[in-house]
Amino acid sequence: MTGTSPARELDIIVYGASGFVGKLLADYLVKHAPEGTKIGLGGRSLEKLAATRADLGTAAADLPLIIADADDATALKALAQRTRVVATTVGPYAKYGHTLVHECASAGTHYVDLTGEVLFHRESIDANHELAVSTGAKIVHSCGFDSIPSDLGVHVLHEKVTADGAGELTDTTLVVTALRGGVSGGTIDSLRNQIDVSKDDARLRKLAASPYSLSPDRDREPDLGRQSDVSVVDGKKIDPSLKGWKAPFVMASYNTRVVRRSNALREWAYGKKFKYSEVMSVGSSVVSPVIAGGVAVGLGALVAGLALPPTRFLLDKVLPAPGEGPSESTQRKGHFTLDVFTMTTTGARYTSRVKAKGDPGYSATAVMLGESALSLAKDQQDLPPATGVLTPSTALGDVLVERLRKAGFEISARKL
């Protein structure tokens, strides 16, 4: 019935194991999965998979190689039926992900990915949620820097507020306090693809822009007014302790929708007045408003540039390509600190923090995706009972929080 069946040959298949992030994920699992965890490497090229396996060292010498092209439903069905969990790094997911998600949902196989694509996520919900509920599968999108820090940051914040009996969350803002690391080629390619599919379709543009585009029932969402992902905000309006103006965060237009879906899937447990946004710190000097405004303009220019053929041609020459990534040394120097601030319905102020070492989009993402897959493969009895197309917090909850803490992440919440 489900991917937790002991009859499954494998625990986890890494699909896309020969790609840049796929190799990082495979390496993480080989080194950190509990003894006896059965891992397979999947992709479309036997030669590349064999080379990846060789690079992973003697501990990986016996890992099975599973050949399946992203548009070969028969091969992907067979892949899904062999394992309890599929962890895929093959994007853009709107191009390469639909068939694999559907076959996992059909087979009752748990699934995790790294998508940051609103339209793909929405299509996956519509096509697979009820099917996955019927088979007992947990389909968990966005298990990397998109959107685990955001989703778990609000999750632990809500748990702390609830434990203290301090009411419900209202205005809640994530602030990127510190960040070092590059944008992956896969992220840029996903942005390109979403621009391509929506630029001539007003319905898709409206869907992508809706703050509740991932919610299970948008008609039941409370009318909280405009929730912008491109605003420049005075830090003191977020919390009195914050100095300087804050700029839009490049990933806000996706992460905010995932967090709102989590609230709705929990029957609005965070609060019916819960409003959520994400910004980034640009310093606290007197010129911070100018810098923050410049970031906002720059983000708009990037999207516009990718939508127009002449500027896109130039941007494609300088932006990272899919499959590219930083050196191991550069990845080690990366880090991130995200702080979430809220005001509750009782007037109390709380904050949470998610902090980790490693390049956010690469080495840290491999940890987050790897621990998500291990949660599904090894901790089924302790996970939240929900099935279907879920978010990291609603599918994995405190199990993932504890796994990431043991992996070196700081995840905490406190009253201010």
273-310 pLDDT, tens digit per residue, is 999 999 988 876 655 666 666 656 555 555 555 455 65
Burial 89-110 (b: 16+ CB within 10 A, else e): bbbbbbbbbbbbbbbbbbbbbb
Amino acid identity, position 367:
V
Q: What tens digit of pLDDT does each residue of 335-387 get?
A: 999 999 999 999 999 999 999 999 998 999 999 999 999 999 999 999 999 99
pLDDT at 296: 61
| Distance separating alpha carbons of residues 359 and 369, to the nearest angstrom | 14
Across the range 79-101, mean pLDDT stands at 96
Contact assessment for residue 10 and residue 37, using Cβ atoms and an 8 Å cutoff: no
Radius of gyration of the chain (CA): 20
Look up residue 218 and give its DSSP letter: G
> 69: exposed, middle or buried (C-beta count within 10 Å: 0-12, 13-18, 19+)?
middle
| Distance separating alpha carbons of residues 269 and 87, to the nearest angstrom | 29
pLDDT at 2: 47
Instruction: Give 301-357 as a 3 state SS string.
Output: HHHHHHHCHHHHHHHHHHCCCCCCCCCHHHHHHCEEEEEEEEEECCCCEEEEEEEEE
Q: CA of 325: how far to CAs of 28, 57, 181, 278, 283, in Å?
A: 16, 21, 10, 25, 28
| Distance separating alpha carbons of residues 332 and 89, to the nearest angstrom | 20
* pTM of the model as a whole: 0.91
pLDDT at 53: 98
- Does 331 have pLDDT greater than 90? no
Q: What tens digit of pLDDT does each residue of 146-184 get?
A: 999 999 999 999 999 999 999 999 999 999 999 888 666
pLDDT at 203: 84
| Distance separating alpha carbons of residues 197 and 369, to the nearest angstrom | 27
| Distance separating alpha carbons of residues 352 and 134, to the nearest angstrom | 35
Closest Cα partner for 78 from 49, 131, 42, 54?
42
Q: What tens digit of pLDDT does each residue of 340-354 get?
A: 999 999 999 999 999
Across the range 100-127, mean pLDDT stands at 97
- Does 133 have pLDDT greater than 70? yes
